Structure 1
Amino acid sequence: MIVRTIRVRTIWSVRVPLPVLSLMLVVFGLTTGEFVIAGILPDVAAGLAVPVPAAGRLVTAYALGMIVGGPVVTVLTARLPRRPLIAGLVTVSVLANLGSALAPGYGLLLAARFAAGLVVATFFAVAIATAVSTAAEGRQASTVAKVALGMNLGIVLGTPLGTLVGQHLGWRAAFAAVAAVTAAGLLMVLRFVPAVPAAAASVRGELRVFAGRGVRLAIALTAVGNMGVVTVFSYIAPLLTEVSGFGEGAVPVLLLVYGAGAVAGNLLGGRLADRALMPSLAGLLAALAAVLVLFWAAGGVRVLAVPLVFVLGLLAFAIIPGMQTRVLTAAGAAPTLAVAVNASGFQVAAAFAGWLGGAVIDDGPGPRSLYLVGAALTVAGLGIALSILRGDRRAAAESEHRLERVAP
């Protein structure tokens, strides 16, 4: 099979196969659709004549869609060929975003956001599995990173641009723009993504992988390893203004700095994971915990806070490709449901992180302590990574010992 590529200019020169680029564009649209609501929330509330907290439940509806849809939709579609499945999932997303743009009232908009979230975890799982199936041996993690680059760009570029569209043309136009971008990705998928057969494993086989300790540990690593930095990022605006002393006008600029670090970290993490998956993950988690402690100690100095924001974004996204790849390798021949549940588990962890951060700020020692809480949670994730690493080395040693025993 001949796969055409396009060269994408980033801080590194990266060759992206057109099938991967197609999936990346869809990820960009889905990510923009998830996060753009934060920038246009007051406009949505005003347009529908509901309080801002009620409009905020639209975010919850989307997250619930992801949490429920991850395992349910994946199980129901496990035997479908991948390209038609991807096309169907993306079509649902396009229609749900169009429904969001056209919804005449709050109830229908709430239902449309739930529907938009339903297909996301399954799409990510199938897209990653499809992209990895086209990757050369030893390039799986960097291929995952290229697909995930769409998520980085959705946060860094898509969300601010969508917010601008919503502010100048109305909030409905923002959802219509998301639908248009995602539809463009769908056309590219139909043109460039090869016809990949359905997963070999049955639904029972997909469910059976969860009996393995390796898959459970990999999903726990994603949830716990990300929880600390998600707790901090959920409250990054008050941390930058109240702890670091920046004005509110500086927050969007600093978020761009964070996003630039995220793009760099995503590509770096993929390359490191290709070379040494678990050792690199353990090292990155240790570095992330150290940066969070450093932010607690020196985050009040603005000249230090700016590079720390960049490094925080870099490390937060450098761990993602390796974590996804670990789930894929642990699940073996039946990875789709495991990756989808992994995405749903991340959403549950993110929801818990939001509650925990609020509790620390409201009832605890204050916002600055979030850095230490985040560091402690990251260390817990590091503990899981080291446990997996020890298990891998023990299994490798036992395998080598068996080979020595049977050797002539």
Structure 2
Amino acid sequence: MPAAAVPRRILPVIVLSQFAGTSLWFAVNAVLPDLQRSWALPPDALASLTSSVQLGFVAGTLVFALLMLADRFRPTRVFLACCLLAGACNAAIAALDGQYGLLLALRFAVGFLLAGIYPVGMKIAASWYREGLGAALGVLIGALVVGTALPHGLRALVGDGQALPSVGGLLPWQAVVLAVSLLAAAGGVATAWLVPSPPAGNGVPVRPRALAAIWSEPRLRASVFGYFGHMWELYTLYALLPVIIATRFAAGEVSMLAFWAIAAGALGCAGGGLVARHVGSARVAQWQLAASGLCCLAAPWLLVAPEAVFVAWLLLWGVTVAGDSPQFSALTARNAPPAVVGSVLTFTNCIGFAISVASIELFVRLAQVVPLAGVLPWLAIGPMLGLAALRPLVRLHQEPRNRAVRS
């Protein structure tokens, strides 16, 4: 469909709906201090709860792809159903009373259903923006980043349990959880109501031979392994940000700075997309991956730097740790064999999120027994390996355009 024929409302609706739906991703992480205070959760709760969402997303991505749900049914209806169900699962947490096992199960369910929100939202966008999708990609991934940050911002506004003793008879952490759930549901309704979707039945089945292509195609291997290095760092940083900030700030300030540090990634996504038009996605990904890796290595000094420098470091890290996501998306889609593009993207994302689980489990648990100054520099392993993998594409000055992959 030509870009000129696309109604003006389409991209804003998709972006806002994507933002609303993906706000579920870190909804519990944002209120975890309140849950730990109220429920006496185990020390490893941060690692376990974050990993549950990531594992749910991996499982959901595979199931949605293998069953071709977004092809058998209209994508906007799949998006709506997943937003409503994920919002309900998230809202159910407010009714729990210390049942940690159920909390883990609900987080896994939310992650599973997010596979019908973020990737399917991208599919809807691709159906409308076959021309100029590259420009839309940075905005869409930026919406994911701000959505991920939103629960921290809401917690900062609501308070840490003392600023507001109750909201409609509920504790503040419950108000945050319910607000995010309602927002996700509203995003699903908005897309189903305002965004037409193409007819069902035009998909391609997942093909296992795409795994061989990831390894055997040099250019594809370069972009995919660069993405894996990016995923080693990204979600582990998001999980640890409140812990890092808490070394210098108190409760409400922790949530607000965590919001701004994560949301800053949207600037990296949008700005990186503009720069990539002139120098190519590979160079932009290289620059941002190198910058975030340096932020890891500089942690021992910047953790004790003056407050303004400390805050600037976290904001820069937030910009660069997420800003390369759209570029890896474009690189992988461009370099995948046309016959197995969808399969390559599915497997790449599943492996990438599985890597994030391993990193989260390792680093979050290490941070409980080792000072952060001794933990954070090791996050640079991902960016360093990613940069090494990416070198062939940088040398080739490739200019991938108008394809997308979930990140």
Specify the TM-score bucket, using the shorter chain as the normaliser.
Answer: 0.7 to 0.9
Residues 228 and 382, structure 2, Cα contact 8 Å, conserved in 1: no
Other-structure match for 1:251 = 254
Confirm or deny that 1:281 pairs with 2:285.
yes
Residues 20 and 146, structure 1, Cα contact 8 Å, conserved in 2: no
Moved more, 292-301 or 63-72: 292-301
1:319 paired residue among 320, 324, 339: 324
Other-structure match for 1:68 = 59
2:41 paired residue among 31, 51, 71: 51
- TM norm structure 2: 0.77
RMSD (CA atoms): 3.4
After superposition, the Cα gap between the structure-2 partners of 1:327 and 1:120, relative to the gap in structure 1 and judged at 3 Å, is farther
1:196-237 superposed Cα distances (whole Å, 9 cap, x missing partner):
2447443144x4433313555544322212323554554344
2:362 paired residue among 356, 368, 376: 356
1:243-277 superposed Cα distances (whole Å, 9 cap, x missing partner):
xxx34355345324423532211211222334411
Show the 5 A alignment for 1:6-405.
Answer: 18-44=9-35, 51-53=41-43, 56=46, 57-78=48-69, 79-80=71-72, 81-102=74-95, 106=99, 107-135=101-129, 137=131, 139-161=132-154, 167=161, 168=166, 169-170=170-171, 171-198=173-200, 200-205=202-207, 207-213=208-214, 214=217, 215=220, 217-228=222-233, 230-240=235-245, 246-248=248-250, 250-275=253-278, 276-302=280-306, 303-331=308-336, 332=338, 334-358=340-364, 361=367, 366-390=371-395
Structure-2 separation of matches of 1:274 and 1:19: 23
Structure-1 separation of matches of 2:269 and 2:289: 14
One-letter amino acid matched to 2:80: A
After superposition, the Cα gap between the structure-2 partners of 1:376 and 1:46, relative to the gap in structure 1 and judged at 3 Å, is closer
State, as a whole percentage, how many aligned pairs show the same letter: 20
After superposition, the Cα gap between the structure-2 partners of 1:98 and 1:217, relative to the gap in structure 1 and judged at 3 Å, is same
Higher helix residue share: 1
- TM norm structure 1: 0.77
TM superposition shift of 1:317? 1.7
Q: Unaligned regions of 5+ residues in structure 2, if any?
A: 399-407
Structure-1 separation of matches of 2:35 and 2:254: 22
Report the 3-state secondary structure (helix = DSSP H, G, I; strand = E; otherwise coil) of the residue aligned with 2:26.
helix
After superposition, the Cα gap between the structure-2 partners of 1:62 and 1:149, relative to the gap in structure 1 and judged at 3 Å, is same
Structure-2 separation of matches of 1:134 and 1:374: 38
Structure-1 separation of matches of 2:381 and 2:272: 22
TM superposition shift of 1:379? 1.5
Moved more, 303-312 or 22-31: 22-31
For these two proteins, the number of residue pairs brought into alignment is: 374
1:24-67 superposed Cα distances (whole Å, 9 cap, x missing partner):
333323332221212323544676x5634586544443332112
TM superposition shift of 1:184? 1.3
Moved more, 167-176 or 31-40: 167-176
The structure number with the bigger radius of gyration is: 1
Structure-1 separation of matches of 2:259 and 2:356: 21
